[in-house]
Structure formats: C-alpha cells, structure tokens
C-alpha cells in the first residue's frame, strides 16, 4: 500500500494538483492540534458552568464554537448527556462519522466492523469488551450518526469532584467517555 499511495502522490504532484506540504500540514494538525482534549474541555466546562451546559443542550454547535472548536466533521454538533437513568453510546454503522473537531481522528476500533455492527444490537456486550458493566436498570441509548450531526457524549460528573478546577475536571474525561464506551474517571484514578 505504501508504494501505491506514493505513486498516487507523485502523479498528483507532477500534475500540480496537490501540495505535499499541505498534506504535511493536515497530518500535523490532527497529530498535534485537534484531539480529544478539545472535547474534554467542553465536558469540564459543562460540568462546572450550568449556563454553558444549557447552551450545549440547546445549540451544541455554537456552544462548542465559543471555545474555538469548529470545522471539519464538527460543522453540526449535538451533545447528549448521560444521566443516572440513561447511558449514551455513539456509533456510525454506515461508515465512520465522528466529531473530529472535538475528538480528533477516530480510533481503528470505531471504524471497524465489530463495533459498527454490534453497537446497535448488543451495546451491553460491546461495553463489557471495554471493561464497562452498567447496572441492568440503566437504559442504553445508542445514537447512529447517519446524517451530518456529530455527537459528543457528556458523561456524568464523578462524585467527589467538588472544588476541582475546570482543568482538573478535564483530566478525568477520556476520549472513550465522550463516545460512550467508558465513563468519567474518579478523582485520582486518571482518565
């Protein structure tokens, strides 16, 4: 595959259709600038600022843009909030739709058939494979990203986090918690 991709890049460069430095810039952006810490910031702010949480519920695109997170695969955002009664899980059964602007590029498992096929029919089994066992009485809501809306799960705020700063709170939020395959970490446990 390396050779085929190199050949394609050479052909397009010779034709003046691409700028290899632009490809470098794209890769650098997603390797170093746009990743799950954007989303963790959104979650921590939602936990510590009720007005922001309400804004997220009513217009996630604008609320998230107010923190500077906009753009490709985050043009239309929706935030879904975990509650004591309901756990949210996000999938794209048809391809790999994912909120790049807040979580960066999706992991391989999110794009792979095992997750895409089973998240909608056996979410509890899938969650168990991530080490997450939810109480039987907790309802599971699966969001299949079939249109251009991109979903961000806002996990429940862990107990014992009163008085933590926004930055400390963000440290409790893993990427998987914002997809719904994990929950936020307890203080001291690390994300």
Partner 1 sequence: MNGPHDLGGQMGFGLVAPEKDEPYFHDEWEKRALGLTLSCGAFGAWTIDESRHARENIPPADYLSTSYYEIWMRALEVLLDRHGFATAAEIDVGHKQTAGAVPKRVLKADMVANVLARGGPCDRPVERAARFAVGEKVRTKNFNPQTHTRLPRYARAKNGVVEAVQGSFVFPDDNAHGKGENPQWVYTVVFDGREIWGEGADPSLTVSIDAWESYLEPL
Of 150-169, which residues contact partner 1 (CB under 8 A)?
none
Please say which residue, 73 or 170, places its beta carbon nearer to partner 1. Answer: 73
CA dihedral 24, 27, 29, 32 (to 10 degrees): -110
| CA 184 to the chain's CA centroid | 13
67 makes contact with partner 1 (CB under 8 A): no
User: How many amino acids of this chain bind partner 1 (CB under 8 A)?
Assistant: 79
Residues 6+ away with beta carbon under 8 Å from 74? 64, 99, 100, 101, 102, 150
Residue 152's closest CA among 88, 69, 93, 105? 88
Q: Rule CB under 8 A: choose which of 49, 72, 83, 186 binds partner 1.
A: 72
Of 171-190, which residues contact partner 1 (CB under 8 A)?
176, 181
Could you tell me which stretch among 1-9, 40-48, 49-57, 161-169 binds partner 1 (CB under 8 A)?
1-9
93 makes contact with partner 1 (CB under 8 A): yes
Q: Cβ(114)–Cβ(187) under 8 Å?
A: no
Could you tell me which stretch among 47-55, 132-140, 152-160, 166-174 binds partner 1 (CB under 8 A)?
132-140
Q: Cβ(123)–Cβ(134) under 8 Å?
A: no
1 makes contact with partner 1 (CB under 8 A): yes
């Amino acid at each position: 595959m390396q050779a085929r991709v190199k050949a394609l890049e050479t052909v397009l460069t010779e034709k003046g259709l691409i700028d290899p430095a632009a490809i470098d810039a794209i890769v650098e952006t997603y390797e170093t600038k746009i990743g799950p810490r954007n989303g963790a910031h959104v979650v921590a702010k939602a936990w510590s600022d009720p007005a922001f949480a309400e804004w997220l519920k009513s217009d996630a695109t604008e609320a998230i843009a107010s923190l500077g997170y906009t753009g490709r695969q985050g043009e239309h955002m929706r935030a879904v909030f975990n509650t004591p009664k309901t756990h949210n899980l996000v999938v794209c059964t048809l391809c790999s739709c994912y909120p790049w602007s807040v979580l960066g590029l999706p992991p391989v498992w999110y794009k792979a058939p095992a997750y895409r096929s089973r998240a909608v029919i056996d979410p509890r089994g899938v969650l168990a494979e991530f080490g997450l066992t939810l109480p039987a009485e907790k309802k599971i809501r699966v969001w299949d990203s079939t249109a251009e809306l991109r979903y961000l799960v806002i996990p429940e705020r862990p107990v014992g986090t009163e008085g933590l700063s926004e930055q400390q709170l963000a440290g409790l939020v893993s990427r998987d918690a914002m997809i719904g395959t994990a929950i936020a970490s307890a203080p001291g446990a690390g994300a």
